[in-house]
């Protein structure tokens, strides 16, 4: 049996953490794009748009991320599609993130007080001008802190991608545990690395929340 030094374990975990970060970034960017599209779709006030967005959100918020990953990986195989763990994880996490981000942003748009709509309306601004100049700038301000906060959930969510064989931080941890039989050391380091990624984001979210609130109104 090969002897693993602490440095060997940490080095391998750090290498695997790159994939956690990469997957998180893809999920965040992809989720933002889809979530933004959903938010604008809802704002068009087209018949059925709001219903579609609500069903979409409830579907992805109301089922475990793990099931979504299984469906994206094993499920599509039923239809003869062969997807890599990478693709399945990226797609599932993107859809999952988009549902939550859309919900956050929709809430921010709705949280702009009704008086702002009326104030703009009596000045003669139509729906689009009011959205663009009055509502969205204020909603954006409110959205920043919870959006950064949700990115923490995405990072932790990537851990589930380990079960479909995607080698990221958690998967690397289980593999190293099997090789070293030192679960405490290995998983403590895994947890520490997750914490090192998430904590700065939580702090940033809290900082932004405090700062944006003071000047908002």
Partner 1 sequence: MSLLAEVSALDSASSDAAVSEKAAVTESAPVSDSALDTESAKAPLVSLSALTKSFGDLPVLKGIDLEVRPGEVVSIIGRSGSGKSTLLRCINQLEQHDGGAIHVAGKLLDGSEMDAAALAQDVGMVFQSFNLFPHKRVGENVMLAPMLVKGVARDVAEREAREMLAKVGLGEKFDAWPSQLSGGQQQRVAIARALAMHPKVLLCDEITSALDPELVGDVLKVLEQLKREGMTLILVTHEMNFARDVGDRVIFMHQGRVHESGDPATLFANPATEELRQFLGAVL
Q: Which residues bind partner 1 (CB under 8 A)?
A: 113, 115-116, 118-126, 129, 133-134, 137-138, 141, 215-217
In the chain, % helix, strand, coil (3-state, to 5) comes to 85, 0, 15
Cα separation, 157 vs 22, whole angstroms: 13
Question: How many Å apart are CA 70 and CA 6, to the nearest integer?
Answer: 34
The structure tokens listed for 200 are 């700065």
Closest contact distance (angstroms) between CB of 129 and partner 1 is: 5
Q: Tell me whether residue 137 or residue 200 sits nearer to partner 1 (CB atom).
A: 137
Nearer to partner 1, 62 or 126 (CB): 126
Contact 176, 12 (CB under 8 A): yes
Nearer to partner 1, 99 or 120 (CB): 120
In the bound state with partner 1, the residue whose beta carbon lies nearer, of 58 and 110, is: 110
DSSP of 102-152: HHHHHHHHHHS-HHHHHHHHHTT--HHHHIIIIIHHHHHHHHHHHHHHHHH
* Residue (137 or 183) nearer to partner 1, CB: 137
Q: C-beta of 215: minimal distance to partner 1 in Å?
A: 7
Contact 133, 126 (CB under 8 A): no
Burial class of 41 by CB neighbour count within 10 A (0 to 12, 13 to 18, 19+): middle
CB nearer partner 1, residue 1 or residue 122: 122
Please answer whether residues 163 and 66 qualify as being in contact, where contact means their C-beta atoms are separated by less than 8 angstroms.
yes
CA distance 49 to 135: 19
């Amino acid at each position: 049996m090969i002897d693993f030094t602490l440095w060997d374990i940490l080095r391998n975990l750090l290498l695997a953490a790159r994939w956690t970060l990469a997957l998180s970034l893809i999920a965040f960017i992809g989720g933002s794009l889809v979530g933004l599209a959903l938010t604008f779709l809802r704002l068009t006030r087209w018949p059925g748009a709001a219903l579609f967005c609500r069903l979409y959100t409830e579907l992805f918020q109301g089922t475990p991320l793990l099931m979504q990953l299984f469906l994206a990986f094993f499920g599509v195989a039923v239809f003869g599609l062969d997807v890599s763990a990478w693709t399945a994880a990226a797609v599932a996490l993107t859809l999952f993130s988009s549902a939550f981000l859309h919900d956050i942003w929709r809430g921010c748009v709705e949280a702009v007080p009704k008086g702002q709509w009326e104030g703009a309306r009596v000045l003669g601004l139509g729906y689009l001008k009011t959205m663009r100049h009055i509502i969205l700038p204020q909603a954006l301000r409110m959205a920043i802190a919870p959006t950064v906060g949700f990115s923490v959930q995405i990072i932790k969510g990537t851990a589930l991608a380990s079960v479909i064989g995607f080698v990221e931080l958690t998967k690397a941890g289980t593999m190293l545990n099997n090789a070293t039989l030192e679960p405490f050391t290995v998983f403590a380091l895994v947890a520490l690395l997750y914490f090192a990624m998430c904590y700065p984001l939580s702090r940033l979210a809290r900082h932004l929340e405090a700062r944006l609130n003071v000047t908002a109104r």
